[in-house]
Structure 1
């Protein structure tokens, strides 16, 4: 073999090796590129899932907030309606006249008088407009006298220094008790769904 042939064989072998290395490099580069593309796709899909979760979470928060606000508005409206009903009842109590007002005032005074001993000096207070009514009722009670005005819808406040007792039997106090005891039923009737 001549030197030229050996050089040519070495050159061909080197060229084949270079071609083989280049081919392996391209294959490896394609594998790396393919893996990078897969990773990029996974990252993109995860980012999209995360964005969807955040959107859903934000939607739930806003929906929950809107429901809470609507509930608060309903409660406010119910409170307003209950306030209007209470005000209307108070107006009707204040407007009671005649025998009905006298009977109620007498009943409240009778109930209050149970708290006092016989012979006590008892002071009775009432609504300014009811002065004459109260004074006429007090004619039936020994030791009781009209002592002045009390800011209320009607009824009486009765007290005695001897007993150190004060009884508030006004329409207002009775209404308060009845209102508190029956508020659930009142609400149920007003807002039955």
Structure 2
């Protein structure tokens, strides 16, 4: 074997080794590219899933906000309607005819008078404009004296210095009590669903 043959064999072996290395490198490069493609697909799928999740969350938040806003508007509308009804009742009370006003004021005075001891000196206060009505009603009550005005829709406030008792039997007080006690029923009647 000559030196040229040995050199040629070494070159052939080197070329074969180089081709094997290149082939291995190509395979490894293809694997890396395939892994990168798979990672890209996974990353893309994860990103799409995350975006979908964010979109769903945003939609849920918007829907929830819209529902809350609608509920608040509905409650506000109901509150406004109840307020209008309350104001309408107050208006009706201020516009009672004299006979009905006398009847109700007498009933409220009788009810309040029961809270005081017999023979007590009682100061009576009433709505501005009801002085004549109260004076005529009080003619039938011993120890009761018209003492002045009370800012109210009607009815009476009775006070006694001797027993330190004060009874507020005004239309306002009765209306407030009846309103509070029956608000649920009133609301149900107005907004029955």
| TM-score, normalising length: structure 2 | 0.97
The answer to whether 1:87 aligns with 2:84 is no
Question: 2:103, 2:93 → 1: CA distance?
Answer: 13
For 1:53 and 1:94, how far apart are their aligned partners in 2? Answer: 61
Residue 56 of structure 1 deviates from its aligned partner by: 0.9
**Post-superposition offset of 1:12:** 1.4
Cα deviation for residue 5 of structure 1 reads 2.1
Q: How does 1:31-70 map to 2 (within 5 A)?
A: 31-70=31-70
Correspondences of 1:14-163 after superposition (within 5 Å)? 14-163=14-163
Superposition deviation, residue 168 in structure 1 = 0.3
Q: CA deviation at 1:3?
A: 2.4
Separation of aligned partners in 1, 2:18 and 2:98: 122
TM-score normalised by the chain length of structure 1 = 0.97
1:172 corresponds in structure 2 to 172
5+ residue gaps, structure 2, are none
Distance 1:128 1:23 in 2: 110
Return the alpha-carbon distance in structure 2 between the equivalents of residues 11 and 123 of structure 1.
Answer: 132
Paired with 1:118 and 1:155, the residues of 2 have a C-alpha distance of: 21
Q: Partners of 1:14 and 1:42 in 2: how far apart?
A: 41
The 3-state SS of whatever aligns with 1:129 is: coil
Aligned-CA RMSD value: 0.9
Q: Which moved more, 1:2-11 or 1:14-23?
A: 2-11
Q: Distance in 1 between matches of 2:117 and 2:27?
A: 113
Structure 1 position 139, deviation (Å): 0.6
